[in-house]
């Protein structure tokens, strides 16, 4: 049984917490960023179990560790840090403090797809296979030595960022963290340095990245929409108003209409012309509105988007 501090958030963080407790470990502190909207599942679980719950937005200021945050952390006497899904940057005074170090989860086969948007980029760039990695964090971005890596996950031609994560990488990630903690606990972990010659890094998927260029080939447009689904939502213009598109599907066939032209699809669905092909859209969200069926969004055959 180890004294563990968790730095994370969301459903994944919650399930990691439950697994660690079920395995007999003592979770001495749970760090979750302050809520931004709906309550965080990890924070709710920690609170319900009466665990020490800390809600800090940051641990560094002006490039240096915040001393009171470090002192607070040291007071818990953690032997191992587990970072299942964290967006905060921890200082080395915390990462390197435990006797057993720290373990961090990443949803790709490192060193490929380093960065905070690994899942959407793997869909957008057409990666065929992926997996998960648990590594020892260091001063770089996802550059530390690998403790556990599990691959063999196929990325299908219909996967969105959401389906790839929740249906495939989420359960595999829980298994990988279980295994990594067990190896460290038993003294059998053998971290392996990452091969820098294979490394890739991608930035965040923001609105400039998510803007649809209908002149690009249809397969690329389809992957962009799926990779940005559900966040931030690939976007285009319809009569001067921004609209985000979801549930994309690449269709066979071509059209002589200009890129961005809206065609009527099967069952009164919406089909868009892109360079060299056709893309069906299931749902759409106009600026300031809610997601609705694309056919009910005001987008009509004969319109041209972009």
Over residues 77-108, the pLDDT tens digits come to: 999 999 998 989 999 999 999 999 999 999 99
Please, which pLDDT band fits residue 268 given cuts at 50, 70 and 90? low
Please, which pLDDT band fits residue 243 given cuts at 50, 70 and 90? very high
Residue 27 has pLDDT above 90, yes or no: yes
Please, which pLDDT band fits residue 193 given cuts at 50, 70 and 90? very high
| Burial class for 66, CB neighbours closer than 10 Å (0-12, 13-18, 19+) | middle
Please, which pLDDT band fits residue 238 given cuts at 50, 70 and 90? very high
138 with 144: CB under 8 angstroms?
yes
Compute the average pLDDT of residues 142-171: 98
Of the candidate CATH numbers 2.40.110.10, 3.30.2130.10, 3.40.50.170, 3.40.50.2000, the domain formed by 3-198 belongs to: 3.40.50.170
Residue 266 has pLDDT above 80, yes or no: no
What pLDDT, on a 0 to 100 scale, did the predictor assign at position 276?
Answer: 84
What pLDDT, on a 0 to 100 scale, did the predictor assign at position 1?
Answer: 77
What pLDDT, on a 0 to 100 scale, did the predictor assign at position 63?
Answer: 87
What pLDDT, on a 0 to 100 scale, did the predictor assign at position 98?
Answer: 98
Tell me yes or no: is domain 207-296 CATH 3.10.50.40.
Answer: no
Domain extents for the chain?
3-198, 207-296
Q: What percentage of the chain reaches a pLDDT higher than 90?
A: 95
């Amino acid at each position: 049984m180890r004294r563990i501090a968790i730095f994370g958030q969301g459903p994944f963080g919650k399930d990691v917490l439950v697994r660690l407790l079920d395995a007999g470990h003592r979770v001495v502190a749970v760090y979750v960023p302050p809520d931004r909207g709906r309550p965080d599942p990890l924070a709710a679980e920690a609170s319900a179990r009466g665990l020490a719950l800390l809600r800090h937005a940051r641990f560094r200021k002006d490039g240096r560790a915040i001393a009171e945050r470090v002192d607070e952390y040291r007071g818990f006497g953690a032997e191992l840090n587990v970072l299942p899904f964290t967006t905060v940057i921890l200082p080395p005074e915390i990462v390197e403090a435990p006797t057993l170090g720290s373990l961090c989860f990443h949803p790709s086969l490192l060193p490929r797809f380093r960065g905070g948007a690994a899942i959407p980029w793997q869909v957008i760039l057409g990666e065929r296979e992926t997996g998960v990695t648990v590594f020892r964090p260091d001063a770089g971005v996802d550059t530390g030595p690998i403790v556990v890596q599990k691959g063999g996950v196929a990325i299908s031609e219909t996967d969105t960022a959401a389906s790839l994560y929740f249906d495939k990488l989420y359960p595999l990630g829980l298994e990988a963290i279980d295994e990594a903690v067990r190896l460290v606990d038993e003294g059998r972990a053998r971290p392996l340095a990452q091969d820098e010659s294979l490394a890739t890094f991608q930035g965040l998927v923001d609105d400039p990245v998510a803007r649809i260029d209908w002149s690009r080939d249809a397969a690329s447009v389809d992957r962009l929409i799926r990779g940005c689904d559900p966040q931030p939502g690939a976007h285009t213009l319809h009569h001067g108003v921004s609209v985000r598109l979801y549930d994309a599907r690449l269709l066979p066939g071509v059209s002589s209409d200009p890129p961005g032209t809206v065609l009527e699809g099967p069952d009164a669905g919406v089909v868009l012309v892109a360079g060299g092909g056709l893309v069906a859209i299931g749902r759409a969200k106009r600026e300031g509105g809610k997601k609705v069926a694309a056919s009910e969004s005001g987008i009509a055959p004969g319109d041209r988007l972009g």
